[in-house]
Amino acid sequence: MKNKLTLILKKEILLKELKSYTWVFMGSVLLAIAYVVFIIPHNIVPGGILGLSIVVNKLTGLTIGLLALLVNIPLLLWGTKVLGVKTGIKTAFSMVLVSFYIDTFSSLLKNKVYVEDVLVSSVFGGAIIGLAVSIVMNSGATTGGNDILVRILATKIKLPYNQLILIIDGIVIFLGVLVFEDFTMAAYSIIAIIAISKTIAYYIKKSLKSMTLLVFSSKNLLIQETILENKEITESVLKLIHYDSNGKLILITRNTKKLEIVRALIYKIDPKATISVLESNNDTF
């Protein structure tokens, strides 16, 4: 019985992984569209590796996607130990997609200005980039660039993560001002960065809400044992309590990412189980 459940769970995890790659693909394409439509035509430099690539593109004529990839590849190889192999592979997938689609869309659209108002482009472009990055991050990857560089630097330099990001973005914007000779561009770039960071913060906070599952089943003991035997599930559970007296099993998950896997596992063991999902304000009762 347990072997069968383990096999079923592995299939569920595989499907979940395929779904996550689909989301990485969608987020990466959305990121490329946001840059090509809102950011690149106005020479906005919203920090990070892509912002640096926009600056270097002006100096060399090399495509922005290619430049980003040339910088990201060594960063990814250097930062694999920090990210982990699994996240590293997904990050490489996202990096290649973003670079490919930025160059493809730029070539097709010829950097045409679709939104004349630079302020609107900064805000909406930043918000869409933030949404795209959040989609990729919630799928267990990063879009490369700044995130990898900051994680590496954080192990070498004793400064908070947010301060390191501000320093790197500030350097990139300063280079943009020198190359484009436009101080107004710096203001719009800062607006875009704020829009990006606020959007990412909103979606990351939303995805990290703890969820409490109240499970009523005659097979709660088997459910509990199966969850504890499977690392993929155990990693998503903060607290697990089993009450034999009333047949209630309480699970508190770190976030909603693996909620459906936990729910599917429970129904595989007991199709008649009753599950209630509540949002938790904290991790303990």
How far does CA 205 lie from the centroid of its chain?
12
Q: Quote the pLDDT of residue 244.
A: 54
The per-residue pLDDT for range 203-215, each reduced to its tens digit, is: 877 766 677 778 8
Q: Quote the pLDDT of residue 176.
A: 93
**Whole-angstrom Cα distance, residue 167 to residue 72?**
19
- pLDDT below 70 — which residues of the chain? 1-10, 12, 82-83, 161, 207-209, 231-247, 254-258, 280-285
Q: Quote the pLDDT of residue 129.
A: 94
**Global confidence as pTM:** 0.74
State in Å, rounded, how far the first CA of the chain is from the last one.
Answer: 33
Three-state secondary structure string covering the chain:
CHHHHHHHHHHHHHHHHHHHHHHHHHHHHHHHHHHHHHHHHHCCCCCHHHHHHHHHHHHHCCCHHHHHHHHHHHHHHHHHHHHCHHHHHHHHHHHHHHHHHHHHHHHHHCCCCCCCCHHHHHHHHHHHHHHHHHHHHHCCCCCCCHHHHHHHHHHHCCCCHHHHHHHHHHHHHHHHHHHHCCHHHHHHHHHHHHHHHHHHHHHHHHHCCEEEEEEECCCHHHHHHHHHHCHHHHCCEEEEEEECCCCEEEEEECCCCCHHHHHHHHHHHCCCCEEEEEEECCCCC
Q: Quote the pLDDT of residue 90.
A: 87
Question: Which residue, 247, 234, 248, 241, is CA-closest to 284?
Answer: 241
The per-residue pLDDT for range 133-177, each reduced to its tens digit, is: 989 888 878 887 777 777 777 777 777 767 788 888 899 999 999
Instruction: Report whether 152 contacts 36 (CB < 8 A).
Output: no
Q: Quote the pLDDT of residue 284.
A: 41
The phi and psi torsions of 281 (rounded to 5 degrees) equal: -85, -20
Q: Quote the pLDDT of residue 1.
A: 57
Q: Quote the pLDDT of residue 271.
A: 87
